[in-house]
Structure 1
Amino acid sequence: MRRIKILFFWIFINKNNVSFFELIKFLFKPKVASIANKFIKNITHNEDFEITFTNLNKKLFWPSKFSISRLNQVVAESFDTEDWHYYQKEHTEINPGEIILDIGTAEGLLPISVIDKCEHIYMIEPSKLFCNCLNKTFLNFKEKTTIFNVAVGNSDGTINFDENSLEGMISNGNKANTQEIAINKIDTLFNKNQTITYLKADIEGFELEMLKGAEQTIKNNKPKIAITTYHTQNNPKEIIDLIKSFVPEYNYYVKGIYEQTPKPVLIHFWI
C-alpha cells in the first residue's frame, strides 16, 4: 500500500525530483529489513543493545527500552545512498574537516559513521535514554564531540517530553507520562564565534521552530543543510522561505515522496 500511494503521488501530484528511473527502483527495492541486514553484522544485548556493522569498524549502542527492529529503518536511511532520507545527497555530502551540528541525533549512526573525517560534531538530543547510549558510542571521541541533552526551538525555557516515545514526543501542555526538560534556541547554544559547516535536522515536525531559533547561526555560518520536511506539522514551502530569508543566496532542492502525503522527505540547501 505504501508503494502504491507513492506511485499515485508521483503520477498525479508531485514528483519532488524523483526521476522515473528512481521511482521504478524504489517500487522494486527490497524491504527495509533486507537492506539493513546487509550492513548489520552483529547485535548483542547487555544493558543496552550493542551493534556492529559490516561497513563500519565502530560500535553503536541502542537503548534496550526501544525495540531493536526500529534500527532497520535507521540503518537503511544512513547507509543506503538511494534512500530518499539519505542526508548526503549531491551538494550536501559530508567532506573532510566538517563541523557538524546534528539536531535530533537519536542513536547517532550518522555521526559515528563520519566521525573520523570530521573536525567536530555537535549532537542535540532531548532523550536521556539516547544520550546515555551516545555517551557510550562516542566514549573514545570525547575531544571531537559535544552532546547537548536538550530540546531546541524558538525560545529558551522548559518543555514537556515523553521519554518513553521513540519519536521523542514534545508537548507545550501538561501531559501524562512526560517530564520537563530544557529547551533552547540554537542561537543560545552557539555563539557567533563557533563555526558550523553542516546542519542536519530531523526533529519530528519541530524543524520550523528550530530554524526560527537558529537564524544567526545560519546567517553567520551558511552551512550546508539537510533537513526533513515530511512530518505532519511541516510545511516545506515555509521552511524554504524561512531559510532563504536568512541567506538569499542558498541553492536548494527537495527530494523524495512521503507515503502519507506528497511532501518531500528532505530538503537540501547549499551555497
Structure 2
Amino acid sequence: MTKLEEYIRDPKLFALHWKIIKYLSSIPKNEIRDGQAQVLHFLKRNAINVFPYNFIKKYNAKDLEIKRDKSNNLLYTLEQGKRLYFKRNWKEKHIKRFYPVLQIEQDEDSPHRYLTEDFNVGKGDIVLDIGAAEGNFSLSIVEKVEKLFLFESDSQWLKALEATFSPWKSKIEIINKFVSNEDKEKQFSLNTFFKSNKKVDFIKMDVEGAELDVLKGSVDILRETNSLKLAVCTYHRQNDANEIKDFLEKENFITEFSKGYMIFYYDKLKAPYLRKAVLRAKKDRMK
C-alpha cells in the first residue's frame, strides 16, 4: 500500500500529518529545537512516517533473501550471518514488511536505537531482553554475553526464538510470561524472578507501554546493582518519557535520551506530537 492509498483509507492520518506541520511551524525560530526542525523539514517533503528521517529510505525488502528451514518448517533470514527465524504463521510478505522496520529501528541515526559506541553491552554481561519479540537485539549481542534472559509474552514467537538461539542454548533462557510489577498466574515482577540472584548488567525493555510497571517491579535490582545499564522504550504513551526519566533519576541513575523523535501514530497523539523513543540510563556511582 502506498502512502497515498493509506491516506485515502485513513484520512485521520492525513489530518495528523498537517496538524504536526502546523504545530511545528508555529514554534518561533529561536525556540524550535534542532530535532524538531529536522522533523518539520522531512514532513514538508514526505508523507508522515513513524521515523520521520531520510535514513529510512535506505531500507527495503527488495533484495531480502528468505529461506525455509526444513528441520522445523520456519522461515528465516540472515542477520549479520546468523539465522533470525520468524513466526510459523508468517509468510514471506509478512517478513518483507517487518524486517526493514527492524533495520530502521537500529540504524545509527534512529531514535529507536538501543546501543551506541559509548553505551553498550559489555563482554561477559548478564542481559535481560524484556519484550524480546523476534530477538534481533539479543542476537546482535549473544556471542559476547555470559547469559541472556529473553522475556516474551507472545507464545507465537517461542518456536522462532528457540530456533534462532539454538546455537547458544547454554547461555539462553526464554521466559513466556508478562513482566510487570505484580505476581500473578501469567505475570511476575523482576524482583521475584531474580530474588536469589540480583546480578544483572544490562536491561533492554520494549513492552508496549508497560515499561514503568516493569521498573516499579524491579526496584530491588535497580538499587542493588551498581553497574546496571538500561535501554527503555518511552514512546508508547504520551507521558512515558517524563515519567520513566523521573523514576530512574530518583533511583540514582544518570539518564540520556536517544537522538531524534518518533511519530507514534498508533497511539492517540496530541501536541507536541513528537515523542522521545529510548531512554538510556546507567547507575550514578557517586550516589
TM range (shorter): 0.7 to 0.9
Indicate if the aligned counterparts of 1:205 and 1:231 stay in contact, CA closer than 8 A.
Answer: yes
- Which of the numbers 59, 62, 68 marks the counterpart of 2:83? 59
- Which of the numbers 39, 62, 75 marks the counterpart of 2:103? 75
Question: 1:124 and 1:9 mapped to 2: Cα distance?
Answer: 39
Structure 2 counterpart of 1:29: 55
State percent identity of aligned pairs: 26
Moved more, 221-230 or 196-205: 221-230
1:59 aligned counterpart, secondary structure? strand
Structure 1: runs of 5+ lacking an equivalent: 159-181
- Report the alpha carbon displacement of residue 229 of structure 1 after superposing the two structures with TM: 0.8
**Which aligned pairs between 1:220-239 and structure 2 lie closer than 5 A?**
220-222=224-226, 223-232=228-237, 234-239=239-244
Amino acid paired to 2:103 = V
- Report the alpha carbon displacement of residue 224 of structure 1 after superposing the two structures with TM: 1.1
The structure having more radius of gyration, on CA atoms, is 2
Using a 3 Å threshold, how does the CA distance of structure 1 residues 103 and 152 change in structure 2: closer, same or farther? Answer: same
**Which aligned pairs between 1:1-271 and structure 2 lie closer than 5 A?**
18=35, 27-31=53-57, 34-37=58-61, 42-45=65-68, 47-53=73-79, 56-66=80-90, 67-68=94-95, 69-78=97-106, 80-89=107-116, 91-158=118-185, 182-191=186-195, 193-222=197-226, 223-232=228-237, 234-247=239-252, 249-259=253-263, 260=265, 261-271=273-283
Using a 3 Å threshold, how does the CA distance of structure 1 residues 246 and 209 change in structure 2: closer, same or farther? Answer: same
Question: 1:15 and 1:229 mapped to 2: Cα distance?
Answer: 22
Question: 2:64 and 2:201 mapped to 1: Cα distance?
Answer: 32
Structure 2: runs of 5+ lacking an equivalent: 1-13, 43-51, 266-272
Amino acid paired to 1:108 = G
Indicate if the aligned counterparts of 1:204 and 1:231 stay in contact, CA closer than 8 A.
Answer: yes
- Report the alpha carbon displacement of residue 23 of structure 1 after superposing the two structures with TM: 8.1
Question: 1:65 and 1:136 mapped to 2: Cα distance?
Answer: 15
TM-score, scaled to structure 2: 0.73
- Report the alpha carbon displacement of residue 265 of structure 1 after superposing the two structures with TM: 1.0
Indicate if the aligned counterparts of 2:25 and 2:40 stay in contact, CA closer than 8 A.
Answer: no
Give runs of ≥4 in structure 1 deviating > 4 Å: 1-17, 19-26
RMSD (Å), alpha carbons: 3.0
Question: 1:12 and 1:257 mapped to 2: Cα distance?
Answer: 18
1:42 aligned counterpart, secondary structure? coil
- Report the alpha carbon displacement of residue 19 of structure 1 after superposing the two structures with TM: 8.1
1:187 aligned counterpart, secondary structure? helix
